[in-house]
Amino acid sequence: MPLPFMGKKKSQPAPPPQRVALPPDQLEFEDNQIRYQYNVMSSHGVRLPAPADVPSLLPSLLEGFATSVELIQPLDPQFQDAAPSIIRPQLALEWINAHHGRSAIGRYALFILETLDSIDLAYETFAVALLYGELDAEGFPRYDAIIGGPVSYWDESTGELILRIVLCWGGEGVRGDTQRIAQRLLARLMANMLASQGATELGRVERPIAVEGRAPCPHCGFRQLDRRAHFCPKCGLRMTGS
């Protein structure tokens, strides 16, 4: 008859300690947050017969609205991937290299407009100015200041200039009546554009998609991004061989 094993009995594992139940509505915690809100308002497009001097035309549309206007022209292809995105360091570095020489107002406007995909410097030209509000101690627009101006590009099929007005504002703070003021500004600027000789309103503008591969412009040397282009986005002259 087999005898039972007389060895030492194995000790049972200790039961886990009982967890204290904490009702969510009675839990104490710290909450940290910061909210930024950026806004862009864009007008319908206005078609103009090809003017002789676009770099002079765009700032002239802001006469009576701003005292200092900065002209931002299309970028070279080396900066075509630049983006103001801090979580993409390589793209952010390209963006800083492309725009480090601009004014504080220009950089601030491009940061908002490019973040919200409201402008494409592959082919568009932008005249920007402070149109309403004040600057802070470092020269940057306050959250309730309105900045913007006319944006232009060349219609590849007709060679006419397409113009629209973009306004932007935002940051940390209370919005107040900023949107209402921006609407009034937009209406006045649109009336100013439509007063130009031969101007006709288009409606919503569908921006073209740049396709890399075109040779540099023989007139101004700008390295054209779009191989389909018939007109240089920088100087507006017809490309040879088009």
pLDDT averaged over consecutive 10-residue blocks of the chain (242 residues)?
A: 58 74 75 86 88 84 93 84 88 91 95 92 92 93 94 81 93 79 95 85 68 69 62 70 52
What does the pLDDT look like over 186-215, one tens digit per residue? Answer: 999 999 888 887 788 887 766 665 555 667
Q: Which range marks the domain in which residue 60 is found?
A: 37-203
Q: Which two structure tokens, joined as six digits, stand for 139?
A: 């020269």
pLDDT of residue 206: 67
Distance CA 105, CA 132 (A): 12
Q: How many domains does the chain have?
A: 1
pLDDT of residue 126: 94
- What b/e string do you get for 175-199 counting C-beta neighbours within 10 Å, with b at 16 or more? eeebeebbeebbeebbebbeebeee
Q: According to the 3-state scheme, what is the secondary structure of 151-190? A: EEEECCCCCCEEEEEEEEEEECCCCCCHHHHHHHHHHHHH
Distance CA 91, CA 168 (A): 22
Q: Which amino acid is at 217?
A: C
Within-domain flag for 138: yes
Within-domain flag for 240: no
pLDDT of residue 69: 95
pLDDT of residue 225: 54
pLDDT of residue 118: 92
Within-domain flag for 212: no
Q: Which amino acid is at 63?
A: E
